[in-house]
Structure 1
Amino acid sequence: MIDIFIISISNPLLIGIYKENNLLEEIKIEGKTSDVLPVIISEVLKKYENISGLYFVNSPGSYMAIKVAYIFLKTLSIAKDIPLYASNGFNFNNNSPIKALGKKYFIKENDTIKVDFLDNDTKIHDFKLPNSLNKELFSKNTLPIYNLPAV
């Protein structure tokens, strides 16, 4: 069985194709999630059969990318009867701060996410698809999580 994992909260968009939890193919593509995700997933669905799970990052990061990915994947999940799962982005960038608004970043400390400026010596890690998909990091609670107060 094949699983698809999508990290859409930053550029490039990352899509991992997993067979028996092992990374089979990695797709990196620059662009807006709304433009590239449907095209790439359409190609993936033509290439791979027996998709058993859809996985994505639902927090924190680009709100628009999170919303687009959620709506697209939820629709696909319902239409194709494929389970959908979500995890937070800190699991895939070494718990590094994630860009928020302006010069502020989402920072995870002791299971709490705050928004703040970075210290000058803070190192930012890129998102990375894991070589092995740890399904214990994911939940069936897939609604986007917005970590900023309403403006």
Structure 2
Amino acid sequence: MPEASPDTIPDAELLIIGVTSPLLVGLYVDGHLVQRYERREKTSSALPAILHDVRYRYNLKALYYARGPGSFMAIKVTYVMAKTFSIALDIPLYASDAFAFNENRPIKAIGRSYFVKSDGEIVIDRRCDGVSGSFSLPLRLDRTLFSQENEPLYILPAV
């Protein structure tokens, strides 16, 4: 498929929530969600197809992603793809922790453990009574939730 001219396609921003299944990707125009992608297959299969589709239909101005905590591999793949896109398209990459997209509910870790956020600190709680909150794409992109500190947030339990 030939590349479209940047002045013939709309400007957009992309948000990727790839910390667990399903993978959620939202496309935002003027800060409003205009397209939603939800995929249950592996991030390594789903995200390249979504990025390819978006790349030729929109002029991406910025990328945003949930940097963790969550599935180590899903976070790693999401980061590598988002960072690569950011460099290739010369656009900024911003990140936020995943709690911003699940109403600050516990996030499944390993076994009966959960990641929890309390007083701004993320820890693993092995006694958490809460059930993981599901993730959702916001209808409006709140850029204040994100920072340029965009390296993955890996919180791994001791083995």
Q: TM-score, normalization: structure 1? A: 0.93
| In the alignment, structure 1 residue 40 sits paired with structure 2 residue 50 | yes
Indicate the residue corresponding to 1:52 in structure 2. Answer: 61
How far apart are 1:142 and its partner, in Å?
Answer: 0.7
| In the alignment, structure 1 residue 5 sits paired with structure 2 residue 15 | yes
Larger of the two Rg values belongs to structure? 2
Indicate the residue corresponding to 1:117 in structure 2. Answer: 126
| Structure 1 residues not aligned, in runs of 5+ | none
The match for 2:35 among 25, 49, 52 is 25
Identity %: 45
Count of aligned pairs between the two proteins = 149
| Structure 2 residues not aligned, in runs of 5+ | 1-10
Amino acid corresponding to residue 51 of structure 1 in structure 2? L
Indicate the residue corresponding to 2:106 in structure 1. Answer: 97
8 A contact 2:69–2:154 mirrored in 1:
yes
8 A contact 2:64–2:95 mirrored in 1:
yes
| Cα distance in 2 between the residues matched to 1:3 and 1:101 | 32
Q: Which runs of 4+ in 1 moved over 3 A?
A: none
Amino acid corresponding to residue 59 of structure 1 in structure 2? G
- Aligned-pair Cα RMSD in Å: 1.3
| Cα distance in 2 between the residues matched to 1:99 and 1:118 | 12
| Cα distance in 2 between the residues matched to 1:148 and 1:119 | 16
| Cα distance in 1 between the residues matched to 2:138 and 2:39 | 17
